[in-house]
A and B are shown apart, each in its own frame.
Chain A
Amino acid sequence: MRKQIISGLAAIAALAACATAPEPALPQFAADVPAPVASVDPRVKFKDGERYLRDLSANLGIPREDICKELSRYDCMTDAFRIVLGGVEAPNLLVNEPIENAALTSPIAVDRVALHVCSNRVRMDREDPAEAVLFKAGAFGADGRARTPDAEWLNATADAIYGSILMRSPSEREIQNLAAYYTQVADGRAANSPDVAADWVTLSCFAVASSLEAVFY
Protein backbone atom coordinates (compact mmCIF):
# COMPACT_ATOMS: atom_id res chain seq x y z
CA MET A 1 0.00 0.00 0.00
CA ARG A 2 2.75 2.41 0.95
CA LYS A 3 4.48 1.80 -2.33
CA GLN A 4 1.30 2.41 -4.24
CA ILE A 5 0.80 5.73 -2.56
CA ILE A 6 4.42 6.64 -3.02
CA SER A 7 4.39 5.87 -6.69
CA GLY A 8 1.07 7.55 -7.24
CA LEU A 9 2.09 10.69 -5.45
CA ALA A 10 5.76 10.97 -6.24
CA ALA A 11 5.13 14.09 -8.20
CA ILE A 12 3.29 15.68 -5.29
CA ALA A 13 6.21 15.10 -3.02
CA ALA A 14 8.28 17.14 -5.38
CA LEU A 15 6.27 20.18 -4.37
CA ALA A 16 8.22 20.31 -1.16
CA ALA A 17 11.15 21.53 -3.15
CA CYS A 18 9.12 24.49 -4.30
CA ALA A 19 9.03 25.98 -0.83
CA THR A 20 12.63 27.09 -0.90
CA ALA A 21 13.18 27.53 -4.61
CA PRO A 22 13.77 31.07 -5.83
CA GLU A 23 10.77 32.54 -7.53
CA PRO A 24 11.23 32.40 -11.27
CA ALA A 25 9.93 34.83 -13.79
CA LEU A 26 6.19 34.74 -14.21
CA PRO A 27 5.30 32.25 -16.92
CA GLN A 28 2.37 32.50 -19.21
CA PHE A 29 2.05 28.85 -20.07
CA ALA A 30 4.71 26.76 -18.50
CA ALA A 31 5.95 24.11 -20.87
CA ASP A 32 6.06 20.53 -19.75
CA VAL A 33 9.32 20.08 -18.03
CA PRO A 34 10.74 17.15 -16.15
CA ALA A 35 9.57 17.01 -12.57
CA PRO A 36 12.11 17.63 -9.86
CA VAL A 37 13.80 14.52 -8.62
CA ALA A 38 11.38 12.67 -6.38
CA SER A 39 12.29 12.20 -2.78
CA VAL A 40 13.53 8.74 -1.91
CA ASP A 41 11.38 8.89 1.20
CA PRO A 42 8.32 10.93 0.40
CA ARG A 43 5.98 11.48 3.29
CA VAL A 44 2.68 12.43 1.81
CA LYS A 45 -0.11 13.06 4.24
CA PHE A 46 -3.84 13.17 3.89
CA LYS A 47 -5.33 16.54 4.68
CA ASP A 48 -7.93 16.01 7.30
CA GLY A 49 -11.27 17.57 6.51
CA GLU A 50 -10.64 20.74 8.46
CA ARG A 51 -7.30 21.42 6.78
CA TYR A 52 -8.83 20.62 3.41
CA LEU A 53 -11.74 23.00 3.91
CA ARG A 54 -9.55 25.77 5.26
CA ASP A 55 -7.30 25.49 2.23
CA LEU A 56 -10.25 25.71 -0.12
CA SER A 57 -11.73 28.53 1.92
CA ALA A 58 -8.56 30.60 1.68
CA ASN A 59 -7.86 29.74 -1.93
CA LEU A 60 -11.35 30.30 -3.26
CA GLY A 61 -12.29 33.25 -1.10
CA ILE A 62 -15.26 31.72 0.69
CA PRO A 63 -15.55 32.17 4.46
CA ARG A 64 -14.81 28.95 6.28
CA GLU A 65 -18.17 28.94 8.04
CA ASP A 66 -20.04 29.20 4.75
CA ILE A 67 -17.99 27.06 2.45
CA CYS A 68 -19.74 23.73 2.81
CA LYS A 69 -23.10 23.07 4.43
CA GLU A 70 -24.99 19.84 4.20
CA LEU A 71 -28.73 20.36 3.91
CA SER A 72 -27.91 24.09 4.05
CA ARG A 73 -27.42 23.68 7.78
CA TYR A 74 -24.71 21.28 8.90
CA ASP A 75 -21.04 22.06 8.43
CA CYS A 76 -19.49 19.39 6.22
CA MET A 77 -16.55 18.84 8.51
CA THR A 78 -17.67 19.76 11.99
CA ASP A 79 -21.07 18.13 11.82
CA ALA A 80 -21.27 15.73 8.92
CA PHE A 81 -17.98 14.05 7.98
CA ARG A 82 -15.57 14.87 10.76
CA ILE A 83 -14.55 11.33 11.62
CA VAL A 84 -14.51 9.82 8.12
CA LEU A 85 -12.35 12.74 7.00
CA GLY A 86 -9.75 12.04 9.62
CA GLY A 87 -10.87 14.33 12.41
CA VAL A 88 -11.41 13.64 16.08
CA GLU A 89 -14.24 14.43 18.46
CA ALA A 90 -13.49 13.41 21.98
CA PRO A 91 -16.16 15.07 24.15
CA ASN A 92 -19.20 13.40 22.64
CA LEU A 93 -18.05 10.68 20.28
CA LEU A 94 -15.04 9.58 22.31
CA VAL A 95 -12.93 9.52 19.16
CA ASN A 96 -9.52 10.66 20.36
CA GLU A 97 -7.45 9.65 17.38
CA PRO A 98 -8.04 9.87 13.62
CA ILE A 99 -9.17 6.63 12.04
CA GLU A 100 -6.18 4.64 10.95
CA ASN A 101 -7.80 3.24 7.82
CA ALA A 102 -9.94 5.19 5.42
CA ALA A 103 -13.62 4.58 5.81
CA LEU A 104 -15.54 3.34 2.81
CA THR A 105 -17.35 6.64 2.75
CA SER A 106 -14.23 8.82 2.97
CA PRO A 107 -13.74 9.28 -0.79
CA ILE A 108 -17.42 10.00 -1.27
CA ALA A 109 -17.28 12.59 1.49
CA VAL A 110 -14.29 14.24 -0.19
CA ASP A 111 -16.19 14.37 -3.46
CA ARG A 112 -19.21 15.88 -1.75
CA VAL A 113 -17.14 18.56 -0.10
CA ALA A 114 -15.38 19.45 -3.36
CA LEU A 115 -18.65 19.59 -5.26
CA HIS A 116 -20.28 21.71 -2.57
CA VAL A 117 -17.39 24.16 -2.58
CA CYS A 118 -17.10 24.45 -6.34
CA SER A 119 -20.84 24.79 -6.85
CA ASN A 120 -20.84 27.55 -4.25
CA ARG A 121 -17.92 29.35 -5.83
CA VAL A 122 -19.46 29.35 -9.29
CA ARG A 123 -22.84 30.43 -7.93
CA MET A 124 -21.16 33.34 -6.15
CA ASP A 125 -19.24 34.21 -9.30
CA ARG A 126 -22.42 34.37 -11.32
CA GLU A 127 -24.20 36.43 -8.70
CA ASP A 128 -21.38 38.95 -8.42
CA PRO A 129 -19.26 38.94 -11.59
CA ALA A 130 -17.18 41.86 -10.37
CA GLU A 131 -15.80 39.69 -7.57
CA ALA A 132 -15.64 36.47 -9.55
CA VAL A 133 -12.79 34.11 -8.76
CA LEU A 134 -13.23 31.27 -11.24
CA PHE A 135 -16.14 31.92 -13.54
CA LYS A 136 -15.35 35.27 -14.98
CA ALA A 137 -17.59 36.69 -17.62
CA GLY A 138 -14.94 36.83 -20.30
CA ALA A 139 -16.56 35.62 -23.46
CA PHE A 140 -20.02 35.81 -22.00
CA GLY A 141 -22.37 38.65 -21.77
CA ALA A 142 -19.99 41.48 -22.46
CA ASP A 143 -22.09 42.61 -25.38
CA GLY A 144 -25.27 40.98 -24.24
CA ARG A 145 -24.77 37.95 -26.45
CA ALA A 146 -23.41 34.62 -25.43
CA ARG A 147 -20.88 32.96 -27.66
CA THR A 148 -18.83 29.83 -27.57
CA PRO A 149 -15.85 30.49 -25.32
CA ASP A 150 -12.62 30.92 -27.19
CA ALA A 151 -9.35 29.24 -26.42
CA GLU A 152 -8.04 32.25 -24.55
CA TRP A 153 -10.96 32.25 -22.13
CA LEU A 154 -10.75 28.49 -21.62
CA ASN A 155 -7.02 28.60 -21.03
CA ALA A 156 -7.25 31.54 -18.68
CA THR A 157 -10.02 29.91 -16.68
CA ALA A 158 -8.09 26.65 -16.48
CA ASP A 159 -5.13 28.66 -15.27
CA ALA A 160 -7.30 30.33 -12.63
CA ILE A 161 -8.66 26.99 -11.44
CA TYR A 162 -5.25 25.47 -10.96
CA GLY A 163 -3.82 28.65 -9.54
CA SER A 164 -6.62 29.18 -7.05
CA ILE A 165 -6.90 25.62 -5.82
CA LEU A 166 -3.38 24.26 -6.06
CA MET A 167 -1.51 27.56 -5.88
CA ARG A 168 0.64 26.80 -8.87
CA SER A 169 0.63 27.29 -12.58
CA PRO A 170 -0.74 24.42 -14.61
CA SER A 171 1.37 22.70 -17.19
CA GLU A 172 0.57 23.01 -20.84
CA ARG A 173 -0.85 19.52 -20.79
CA GLU A 174 -3.07 20.25 -17.82
CA ILE A 175 -4.46 23.33 -19.53
CA GLN A 176 -5.10 21.34 -22.67
CA ASN A 177 -6.83 18.67 -20.64
CA LEU A 178 -9.28 21.08 -19.06
CA ALA A 179 -9.87 23.02 -22.27
CA ALA A 180 -10.60 19.81 -24.17
CA TYR A 181 -12.92 18.75 -21.39
CA TYR A 182 -15.25 21.62 -22.33
CA THR A 183 -16.33 19.71 -25.41
CA GLN A 184 -17.38 16.81 -23.24
CA VAL A 185 -19.40 19.00 -20.90
CA ALA A 186 -21.07 20.74 -23.84
CA ASP A 187 -21.89 17.48 -25.60
CA GLY A 188 -25.53 17.58 -26.70
CA ARG A 189 -26.02 21.12 -25.48
CA ALA A 190 -25.46 24.58 -26.88
CA ALA A 191 -21.75 25.28 -26.57
CA ASN A 192 -22.39 28.98 -26.30
CA SER A 193 -24.61 28.67 -23.25
CA PRO A 194 -23.39 30.35 -20.07
CA ASP A 195 -24.89 27.42 -18.18
CA VAL A 196 -22.64 25.03 -20.06
CA ALA A 197 -19.66 27.20 -19.31
CA ALA A 198 -20.65 27.40 -15.65
CA ASP A 199 -20.97 23.62 -15.49
CA TRP A 200 -17.54 23.27 -17.05
CA VAL A 201 -16.01 25.60 -14.48
CA THR A 202 -17.79 23.85 -11.62
CA LEU A 203 -16.77 20.38 -12.74
CA SER A 204 -13.22 21.39 -13.60
CA CYS A 205 -12.94 22.96 -10.18
CA PHE A 206 -14.36 19.77 -8.67
CA ALA A 207 -11.92 17.57 -10.55
CA VAL A 208 -8.92 19.63 -9.48
CA ALA A 209 -10.13 20.17 -5.92
CA SER A 210 -10.64 16.45 -5.42
CA SER A 211 -7.44 15.40 -7.15
CA LEU A 212 -4.71 13.71 -5.18
CA GLU A 213 -2.60 16.84 -5.17
CA ALA A 214 -5.37 18.81 -3.50
CA VAL A 215 -6.36 16.15 -1.01
CA PHE A 216 -2.84 15.26 0.13
CA TYR A 217 0.05 17.43 1.17
Chain B
Amino acid sequence: MTRHLSRRNFLRTASLGATGAFIAARAPQDAFAQEVMIERAKNPRFLIVLSSFGGANQVDAFLSRRESEVPNAKTLNAYPDDMVQTIGEFRAIDMKGPSIGAIPAAFTANQSNFVRKHNNDMMVVTHTGTSVNHFVAQQRSINGNAAWKGRTLQEAVALTYGAGYAIPNVHLVNGTGFTERGTDNTLPAYVYGERAPTPNLWPLSLDGYRGIAGAPDRKLFEAARKFRNERLDPPPTSSARSAAASGSSTGPTSGAMHCAAWRPRISSPS
Protein backbone atom coordinates (compact mmCIF):
# COMPACT_ATOMS: atom_id res chain seq x y z
CA MET B 1 0.00 0.00 0.00
CA THR B 2 2.68 2.40 1.01
CA ARG B 3 4.75 1.78 -2.01
CA HIS B 4 2.05 2.23 -4.60
CA LEU B 5 -0.46 4.61 -3.15
CA SER B 6 -0.33 8.33 -3.60
CA ARG B 7 -3.32 10.54 -4.05
CA ARG B 8 -1.83 12.26 -7.01
CA ASN B 9 -1.00 9.03 -8.77
CA PHE B 10 -4.34 7.43 -8.32
CA LEU B 11 -6.13 10.67 -8.88
CA ARG B 12 -4.30 11.07 -12.13
CA THR B 13 -5.33 7.59 -13.13
CA ALA B 14 -8.94 8.23 -12.27
CA SER B 15 -9.18 11.62 -13.86
CA LEU B 16 -7.47 10.69 -17.06
CA GLY B 17 -9.66 7.67 -17.53
CA ALA B 18 -10.68 6.62 -20.97
CA THR B 19 -8.43 7.21 -23.89
CA GLY B 20 -6.20 9.62 -22.04
CA ALA B 21 -5.07 6.97 -19.61
CA PHE B 22 -4.61 4.51 -22.37
CA ILE B 23 -2.50 6.77 -24.48
CA ALA B 24 -0.52 8.03 -21.51
CA ALA B 25 0.22 4.53 -20.37
CA ARG B 26 1.12 3.20 -23.74
CA ALA B 27 2.77 6.18 -25.35
CA PRO B 28 6.33 4.90 -25.18
CA GLN B 29 5.33 1.65 -26.78
CA ASP B 30 4.58 0.54 -30.24
CA ALA B 31 2.34 3.03 -32.05
CA PHE B 32 0.92 0.45 -34.40
CA ALA B 33 -0.08 -1.75 -31.48
CA GLN B 34 -1.90 1.22 -29.96
CA GLU B 35 -3.86 1.81 -33.11
CA VAL B 36 -4.84 -1.82 -33.28
CA MET B 37 -5.98 -1.85 -29.67
CA ILE B 38 -7.96 1.35 -29.94
CA GLU B 39 -9.64 0.06 -33.09
CA ARG B 40 -10.48 -3.20 -31.41
CA ALA B 41 -11.84 -1.39 -28.37
CA LYS B 42 -14.51 0.20 -30.54
CA ASN B 43 -16.28 -3.05 -29.80
CA PRO B 44 -15.37 -3.26 -26.11
CA ARG B 45 -15.97 -6.16 -23.78
CA PHE B 46 -16.54 -5.36 -20.15
CA LEU B 47 -15.74 -7.95 -17.56
CA ILE B 48 -17.78 -8.35 -14.42
CA VAL B 49 -16.08 -11.14 -12.56
CA LEU B 50 -18.02 -13.28 -10.14
CA SER B 51 -16.57 -16.08 -8.12
CA SER B 52 -18.31 -19.26 -7.07
CA PHE B 53 -16.17 -21.58 -5.05
CA GLY B 54 -16.24 -24.02 -2.24
CA GLY B 55 -17.55 -27.52 -1.83
CA ALA B 56 -20.82 -27.02 -3.64
CA ASN B 57 -20.01 -28.83 -6.84
CA GLN B 58 -19.98 -25.66 -8.90
CA VAL B 59 -17.21 -27.15 -10.96
CA ASP B 60 -19.28 -29.90 -12.44
CA ALA B 61 -22.60 -28.10 -12.34
CA PHE B 62 -22.58 -26.70 -15.85
CA LEU B 63 -21.33 -30.00 -17.19
CA SER B 64 -23.02 -32.32 -14.75
CA ARG B 65 -23.50 -35.96 -15.59
CA ARG B 66 -26.62 -38.08 -15.27
CA GLU B 67 -26.35 -41.33 -13.39
CA SER B 68 -27.45 -43.20 -16.50
CA GLU B 69 -24.42 -41.79 -18.33
CA VAL B 70 -21.86 -42.84 -15.75
CA PRO B 71 -20.86 -46.46 -15.30
CA ASN B 72 -19.95 -46.07 -11.65
CA ALA B 73 -22.59 -43.55 -10.71
CA LYS B 74 -22.79 -44.69 -7.14
CA THR B 75 -19.17 -43.86 -6.43
CA LEU B 76 -18.62 -40.97 -8.84
CA ASN B 77 -20.14 -37.53 -8.73
CA ALA B 78 -23.30 -37.92 -10.78
CA TYR B 79 -26.89 -36.84 -10.31
CA PRO B 80 -30.22 -38.54 -10.75
CA ASP B 81 -31.34 -38.21 -14.35
CA ASP B 82 -34.40 -36.16 -13.58
CA MET B 83 -32.36 -33.54 -11.73
CA VAL B 84 -30.13 -32.70 -14.66
CA GLN B 85 -31.59 -30.17 -17.08
CA THR B 86 -30.08 -29.53 -20.48
CA ILE B 87 -30.18 -25.89 -21.49
CA GLY B 88 -28.43 -25.02 -24.74
CA GLU B 89 -24.95 -26.44 -24.57
CA PHE B 90 -25.00 -26.61 -20.80
CA ARG B 91 -26.59 -28.43 -18.00
CA ALA B 92 -28.08 -27.17 -14.79
CA ILE B 93 -29.18 -28.59 -11.49
CA ASP B 94 -31.69 -27.05 -9.13
CA MET B 95 -31.11 -28.12 -5.59
CA LYS B 96 -32.70 -27.48 -2.25
CA GLY B 97 -31.93 -29.04 1.08
CA PRO B 98 -31.93 -28.64 4.83
CA SER B 99 -28.14 -28.87 5.12
CA ILE B 100 -24.96 -28.55 3.08
CA GLY B 101 -23.37 -31.88 3.77
CA ALA B 102 -22.60 -31.89 7.47
CA ILE B 103 -23.20 -28.16 7.75
CA PRO B 104 -26.67 -27.54 9.18
CA ALA B 105 -27.57 -24.68 6.85
CA ALA B 106 -30.59 -24.82 4.61
CA PHE B 107 -29.96 -23.79 1.03
CA THR B 108 -31.69 -23.24 -2.29
CA ALA B 109 -29.75 -23.17 -5.54
CA ASN B 110 -31.65 -22.43 -8.73
CA GLN B 111 -29.00 -22.79 -11.35
CA SER B 112 -31.34 -23.34 -14.26
CA ASN B 113 -32.59 -19.75 -14.15
CA PHE B 114 -29.04 -18.45 -14.45
CA VAL B 115 -28.13 -20.77 -17.31
CA ARG B 116 -31.36 -20.14 -19.14
CA LYS B 117 -30.75 -16.41 -18.96
CA HIS B 118 -27.07 -16.35 -19.82
CA ASN B 119 -26.26 -19.49 -21.76
CA ASN B 120 -25.77 -17.60 -25.01
CA ASP B 121 -23.02 -15.59 -23.35
CA MET B 122 -21.42 -18.39 -21.40
CA MET B 123 -18.26 -20.35 -21.83
CA VAL B 124 -17.16 -23.12 -19.52
CA VAL B 125 -13.45 -23.77 -19.32
CA THR B 126 -12.35 -26.84 -17.51
CA HIS B 127 -9.16 -26.73 -15.57
CA THR B 128 -7.13 -29.32 -13.80
CA GLY B 129 -4.36 -28.28 -11.48
CA THR B 130 -2.66 -28.99 -8.25
CA SER B 131 -1.70 -26.69 -5.46
CA VAL B 132 -0.86 -26.66 -1.81
CA ASN B 133 -3.94 -24.62 -0.97
CA HIS B 134 -7.13 -23.20 -2.38
CA PHE B 135 -5.83 -19.67 -2.72
CA VAL B 136 -2.86 -20.55 -4.87
CA ALA B 137 -4.98 -22.93 -6.90
CA GLN B 138 -7.43 -20.11 -7.56
CA GLN B 139 -4.61 -17.84 -8.64
CA ARG B 140 -3.20 -20.41 -10.98
CA SER B 141 -6.57 -20.98 -12.56
CA ILE B 142 -6.54 -17.39 -13.81
CA ASN B 143 -2.83 -16.82 -14.43
CA GLY B 144 -1.85 -20.25 -15.70
CA ASN B 145 1.02 -20.05 -13.28
CA ALA B 146 2.51 -17.14 -15.24
CA ALA B 147 1.58 -18.62 -18.60
CA TRP B 148 0.71 -15.22 -20.15
CA LYS B 149 3.67 -13.09 -19.17
CA GLY B 150 2.32 -13.00 -15.66
CA ARG B 151 -1.04 -11.63 -16.76
CA THR B 152 -4.27 -13.05 -15.49
CA LEU B 153 -7.01 -14.17 -17.83
CA GLN B 154 -9.04 -11.11 -16.90
CA GLU B 155 -6.12 -8.77 -17.51
CA ALA B 156 -5.47 -10.33 -20.89
CA VAL B 157 -9.09 -9.79 -21.89
CA ALA B 158 -9.16 -6.22 -20.58
CA LEU B 159 -5.92 -5.45 -22.38
CA THR B 160 -7.34 -6.79 -25.61
CA TYR B 161 -10.83 -5.38 -25.50
CA GLY B 162 -10.86 -2.65 -22.87
CA ALA B 163 -8.51 -0.02 -24.24
CA GLY B 164 -9.90 3.45 -23.81
CA TYR B 165 -12.24 2.58 -20.95
CA ALA B 166 -11.61 3.44 -17.33
CA ILE B 167 -12.89 0.26 -15.70
CA PRO B 168 -13.25 -2.62 -18.14
CA ASN B 169 -12.43 -5.24 -15.50
CA VAL B 170 -14.61 -5.19 -12.39
CA HIS B 171 -14.37 -7.90 -9.75
CA LEU B 172 -17.33 -8.62 -7.52
CA VAL B 173 -14.97 -10.92 -5.74
CA ASN B 174 -13.25 -10.68 -2.42
CA GLY B 175 -10.61 -12.54 -0.57
CA THR B 176 -9.95 -15.24 -3.14
CA GLY B 177 -7.20 -15.97 -5.57
CA PHE B 178 -9.61 -15.30 -8.44
CA THR B 179 -9.20 -11.56 -7.95
CA GLU B 180 -5.46 -11.49 -7.42
CA ARG B 181 -3.48 -9.24 -9.67
CA GLY B 182 -0.98 -10.80 -12.04
CA THR B 183 2.73 -10.14 -11.99
CA ASP B 184 3.02 -8.07 -15.17
CA ASN B 185 3.35 -4.52 -13.84
CA THR B 186 3.87 -2.97 -17.25
CA LEU B 187 0.20 -2.93 -18.22
CA PRO B 188 -1.97 0.20 -18.39
CA ALA B 189 -3.80 0.93 -15.14
CA TYR B 190 -7.23 0.24 -16.59
CA VAL B 191 -6.31 -3.38 -17.23
CA TYR B 192 -6.03 -4.45 -13.61
CA GLY B 193 -9.12 -5.73 -11.88
CA GLU B 194 -11.08 -3.15 -9.93
CA ARG B 195 -12.62 -4.64 -6.83
CA ALA B 196 -16.14 -3.83 -5.85
CA PRO B 197 -16.21 -5.26 -2.32
CA THR B 198 -19.65 -3.88 -1.51
CA PRO B 199 -21.47 -3.77 -4.84
CA ASN B 200 -24.49 -1.98 -3.44
CA LEU B 201 -22.44 1.01 -2.28
CA TRP B 202 -19.53 0.77 -4.69
CA PRO B 203 -21.08 3.09 -7.31
CA LEU B 204 -20.79 5.93 -4.81
CA SER B 205 -17.04 5.73 -5.15
CA LEU B 206 -17.27 6.50 -8.86
CA ASP B 207 -18.11 10.12 -8.20
CA GLY B 208 -16.46 12.32 -5.62
CA TYR B 209 -19.40 14.67 -5.39
CA ARG B 210 -22.78 13.24 -6.28
CA GLY B 211 -25.21 12.78 -3.43
CA ILE B 212 -23.31 14.64 -0.73
CA ALA B 213 -25.79 16.76 1.17
CA GLY B 214 -24.90 20.40 1.69
CA ALA B 215 -21.88 20.37 -0.60
CA PRO B 216 -21.18 23.48 -2.67
CA ASP B 217 -21.94 23.54 -6.38
CA ARG B 218 -20.19 20.89 -8.46
CA LYS B 219 -18.31 23.47 -10.50
CA LEU B 220 -16.89 24.89 -7.31
CA PHE B 221 -15.99 21.41 -6.13
CA GLU B 222 -14.11 20.64 -9.34
CA ALA B 223 -12.34 23.97 -9.02
CA ALA B 224 -11.39 23.08 -5.45
CA ARG B 225 -9.81 19.86 -6.67
CA LYS B 226 -7.82 21.83 -9.19
CA PHE B 227 -6.84 24.36 -6.55
CA ARG B 228 -5.63 21.58 -4.29
CA ASN B 229 -3.69 19.79 -7.00
CA GLU B 230 -2.04 22.90 -8.35
CA ARG B 231 -1.62 25.11 -5.31
CA LEU B 232 -1.65 22.97 -2.18
CA ASP B 233 -0.06 19.85 -3.63
CA PRO B 234 1.93 21.16 -6.54
CA PRO B 235 3.92 18.55 -8.42
CA PRO B 236 7.48 18.42 -7.10
CA THR B 237 9.99 20.45 -9.02
CA SER B 238 12.66 18.68 -10.99
CA SER B 239 15.29 19.82 -8.52
CA ALA B 240 13.26 18.46 -5.61
CA ARG B 241 12.86 15.16 -7.41
CA SER B 242 16.57 14.99 -8.02
CA ALA B 243 17.35 15.84 -4.43
CA ALA B 244 14.93 13.27 -3.09
CA ALA B 245 16.25 10.66 -5.47
CA SER B 246 19.81 11.31 -4.39
CA GLY B 247 18.89 11.50 -0.73
CA SER B 248 20.31 14.96 -0.30
CA SER B 249 18.68 17.85 1.47
CA THR B 250 15.82 19.40 -0.40
CA GLY B 251 16.36 22.84 1.02
CA PRO B 252 13.43 25.19 0.91
CA THR B 253 10.34 23.61 -0.53
CA SER B 254 7.00 24.82 -1.62
CA GLY B 255 4.56 24.81 1.24
CA ALA B 256 7.33 24.47 3.79
CA MET B 257 6.45 22.70 7.01
CA HIS B 258 6.57 24.40 10.34
CA CYS B 259 7.15 22.73 13.65
CA ALA B 260 5.33 25.44 15.52
CA ALA B 261 2.47 24.10 17.58
CA TRP B 262 -0.81 25.46 16.36
CA ARG B 263 -3.08 27.51 18.54
CA PRO B 264 -6.32 28.97 17.32
CA ARG B 265 -5.95 32.61 16.60
CA ILE B 266 -9.48 33.16 15.40
CA SER B 267 -11.63 35.03 17.81
CA SER B 268 -15.02 33.92 18.96
CA PRO B 269 -17.92 35.36 17.07
CA SER B 270 -19.09 38.62 18.42
Interface residues of A (CB under 8 A from B): 1-12, 14-15, 17-18, 21, 23-24, 26-28, 30, 32-38, 40-41, 43-46, 48, 70-72, 74, 79-84, 86, 89-90, 93-96, 98-112, 115-116, 119-120, 122-123, 129-130, 132, 136-138, 141-142, 156-157, 159-160, 162-163, 166-171, 173-174, 177, 181, 184-185, 199, 202-204, 206-208, 210-212, 215-216
Q: Which 8 A-B pairs have the closest CB atoms?
A: A94-B175, A137-B269, A111-B208, A163-B262, A7-B244, A105-B205, A207-B228, A40-B247
* Stretch from B23-31, B148-156, B248-256 that touches the partner: B248-256
A46 vs B8: C-alpha distance in the bound complex, in angstroms? 12
- Least CB distance from B14 to A in Å reads 5
**With a CB–CB cut-off of 8 A, which chain B residues contact A9?**
6
Contact of B265 among A43, A80, A132, A159 (CB under 8 A): A159
Q: Mark B213-249, 1 if CB is under 8 A from A, else 0.
A: 1111100110111011001110110001101110101
Whether the pair A95, B7 counts as a contact (CB closer than 8 A) is no
Does B166 interact with chain A (Cβ within 8 Å)? yes
**With a CB–CB cut-off of 8 A, which chain B residues contact A82?**
197-198
Whether the pair A112, B263 counts as a contact (CB closer than 8 A) is no
**Which of A35, A116, A123, A168: most chain B Cβ within 10 A?**
A35
Q: Closest residue to B247 on the A side, CB-wise?
A: A40
Whether the pair A169, B262 counts as a contact (CB closer than 8 A) is yes
Q: Closest residue to B21 on the A side, CB-wise?
A: A104
Please judge, given known A-B contacts A138-B266, A207-B227, whether A109 and B205 are in contact too, CB under 8 Å: yes
18 further A-B contacts with Cβ under 8 Å, apart from A38-B250, A83-B198, A170-B258, are: A1-B9, A18-B259, A21-B259, A27-B260, A30-B258, A38-B244, A46-B1, A80-B204, A90-B175, A101-B181, A102-B4, A104-B190, A105-B14, A107-B11, A108-B205, A141-B269, A159-B262, A202-B215
Contact of A207 among B215, B217, B224 (CB under 8 A): B224
- Least CB distance from A36 to B in Å reads 7
Contact of B8 among A26, A89, A129, A212 (CB under 8 A): A212
16 contacts between A and B (CB under 8 A): A1-B9, A3-B241, A7-B240, A18-B257, A38-B249, A43-B2, A71-B211, A89-B197, A101-B4, A107-B11, A119-B212, A160-B266, A177-B231, A206-B221, A208-B228, A211-B232
A115 vs B262: C-alpha distance in the bound complex, in angstroms? 23
**With a CB–CB cut-off of 8 A, which chain A residues contact B6?**
4-5, 8-9, 102, 212, 216
**With a CB–CB cut-off of 8 A, which chain A residues contact B263?**
26, 163
**Which of A40, A107, A167: most chain B Cβ within 10 A?**
A107
Please judge, given known A-B contacts A24-B260, A132-B269, A199-B220, whether A103 and B194 are in contact too, CB under 8 Å: yes
A162 vs B255: C-alpha distance in the bound complex, in angstroms? 12
Contact of B197 among A10, A35, A84 (CB under 8 A): A84
Interface size classification for chain B: 35 or more
A211 vs B228: C-alpha distance in the bound complex, in angstroms? 7
Which B1-23 residues have a C-beta within 8 angstroms of A?
Answer: 1-11, 13-14
Whether the pair A104, B258 counts as a contact (CB closer than 8 A) is no
Does B264 interact with chain A (Cβ within 8 Å)? yes
Whether the pair A99, B195 counts as a contact (CB closer than 8 A) is yes
Whether the pair A70, B201 counts as a contact (CB closer than 8 A) is yes
Whether the pair B14, A210 counts as a contact (CB closer than 8 A) is no
- Least CB distance from A109 to B in Å reads 5
**With a CB–CB cut-off of 8 A, which chain B residues contact A111?**
208-209, 225
Contact of B258 among A12, A33, A45, A132 (CB under 8 A): A33
Whether the pair A136, B235 counts as a contact (CB closer than 8 A) is no
Q: Mark B193-207, 1 if CB is under 8 A from A, else 0.
A: 011011001101111
Whether the pair B2, A104 counts as a contact (CB closer than 8 A) is no
Q: Closest residue to B270 on the A side, CB-wise?
A: A142
A6 vs B195: C-alpha distance in the bound complex, in angstroms? 27
Whether the pair A207, B7 counts as a contact (CB closer than 8 A) is no
A107 vs B4: C-alpha distance in the bound complex, in angstroms? 13
Whether the pair B258, A83 counts as a contact (CB closer than 8 A) is no
**With a CB–CB cut-off of 8 A, which chain B residues contact A35?**
250-253, 256-257
- Least CB distance from A92 to B in Å reads 8
- Least CB distance from B86 to A in Å reads 34
